[in-house]
Amino acid sequence: MNLTILHLYPKEMNLYGDHGNVLVLKRRCEWRGIKVNIIEHNIGDELPAKCDIIFGGGGQDSGQQRIAEDLRNNGKALKAWAEDGMPTLLVCGIYQLFGNFFKMQDGVTIEGISVLDIETEAGDKRLIGNIVIESGKFGDIVGYENHSGLTELGNDIKPLGKVTRGYGNNGSDGAEGVFYKNTIGTYMHGPLLPKNPRIADFLIKTALERKYGAQKDFEKLPDKLEQKARKIAMERPR
Ligand code: GLN
């Protein structure tokens, strides 16, 4: 078996080791004997005709401005993939741009690609620190956030989880991220997947099911170190 990961804008969107998420996906596939091909999409590149998992990381406002036009040029294909159930992980800056818009502190608005019905406006303080959320599907999720953007969800889109420590989407309604079809949007860096292997395996297993059918024998990994890392991260003060 083999999977292709499409990594969006690794040059501009790679804060706090977000690239590590791709390494985790690759390694967890390889431990199971699944071959991985990584396609990096940078500004001006053509999207591949096919892929199995999509990942995009966080970036500063300036990076978001640089990629916005290219992202919009590819918005139709990315939206079609999301609607079709493509397993996708979007962190912070790219999460915002998969929404309707991100209005920056100076009032300039970056139009997004409206894959997710969310809207983001920069607030006047940065929301920074360790974060833990409770999610029905993946249990507790632990990470680190650093954003000024305050994100509101539309009526028909569900958050990824409820904040137990930290700020989340906007610091006021207790919601963090989104979970839409198989697309996960989140403010959680860290990177996210090393400490949250259940999410990594959700992306991998969903990709395998879409490509090869039911995965009854999907191998469980021991995750001893991962569990230790989670525990330590979850006990960190905010
Ligand atoms: N520039 C965005 C914000 O501050 C995204 C930051 C990020 O990706 N960490 O809200």
Q: Does residue 110 line the site of ligand 1, with CB under 6 A?
A: no
Cα–Cα distance for residue pair 178/19, rounded to 1 Å: 20
Tell me the mean pLDDT in the region 19-41: 98
Where do the domains of the chain lie?
2-213+223-235
Cα–Cα distance for residue pair 129/123, rounded to 1 Å: 16
What share of the chain has pLDDT > 70, as a percent? 100
| Positive or negative: CA dihedral 76, 79, 85, 89 | positive
Higher confidence at residue 16 or residue 121? 121
User: Under a CB-based contact definition with an 8 Å cutoff, are residues 134 and 196 in contact?
Assistant: no
Strand partners, 6: 39, 54
Span 2-213+223-235: which CATH code?
Answer: 3.40.50.880
Nearest in space to 133 (alpha carbons), one of 159, 155, 152, 157? 159
Tell me the mean pLDDT in the region 191-210: 97
Q: Is the pLDDT of residue 40 over 90?
A: yes
Nearest in space to 119 (alpha carbons), one of 104, 105, 106, 102? 102
Burial 51-64 (b: 16+ CB within 10 A, else e): bbbbbbbbbebebb
Q: Regarding beta strands 139-153 and 109-111, do their DSSP bridges make them parallel or antiparallel, or are they unpaired?
A: unpaired
Cα–Cα distance for residue pair 165/226, rounded to 1 Å: 20
Higher confidence at residue 65 or residue 237? 65
Q: What is the pLDDT of residues 88-133, one digit of tens each?
A: 999 999 999 999 999 999 999 999 999 999 999 999 999 999 999 9
| DSSP structure class, residue 189 | B
Tell me the mean pLDDT in the region 153-168: 97
Q: Does residue 15 line the site of ligand 1, with CB under 6 A?
A: yes
Q: Does residue 149 line the site of ligand 1, with CB under 6 A?
A: yes
Tell me the mean pLDDT in the region 129-144: 96
Tell me the mean pLDDT in the region 133-137: 96
Q: Supply the pLDDT for residue 112.
A: 98
pLDDT band at 230 (very low <50, low <70, confident <90, very high): very high
Active site residues: 92, 189
Q: pTM of whole model > 0.85?
A: yes
pLDDT band at 238 (very low <50, low <70, confident <90, very high): confident
Atom of ligand 1 minimally distant from the CA of 145: 9
| Positive or negative: CA dihedral 87, 90, 94, 98 | positive
Pocket test for ligand 1, best of 118, 147, 192 (most atoms within 8 A of CB): 147
pLDDT band at 236 (very low <50, low <70, confident <90, very high): confident
Distances (CA, A) of 76 to 73, 80, 98, 142: 8, 6, 11, 32
Q: Does residue 41 line the site of ligand 1, with CB under 6 A?
A: no
Cis peptide before 191 (omega within 30 of 0): yes
Give the alpha-carbon dihedral of 32, 37, 43, 47, to 10 degrees. -110
Q: Is the pLDDT of residue 165 over 90?
A: yes
Q: Is the pLDDT of residue 23 over 80?
A: yes
Q: Supply the pLDDT for residue 190.
A: 85
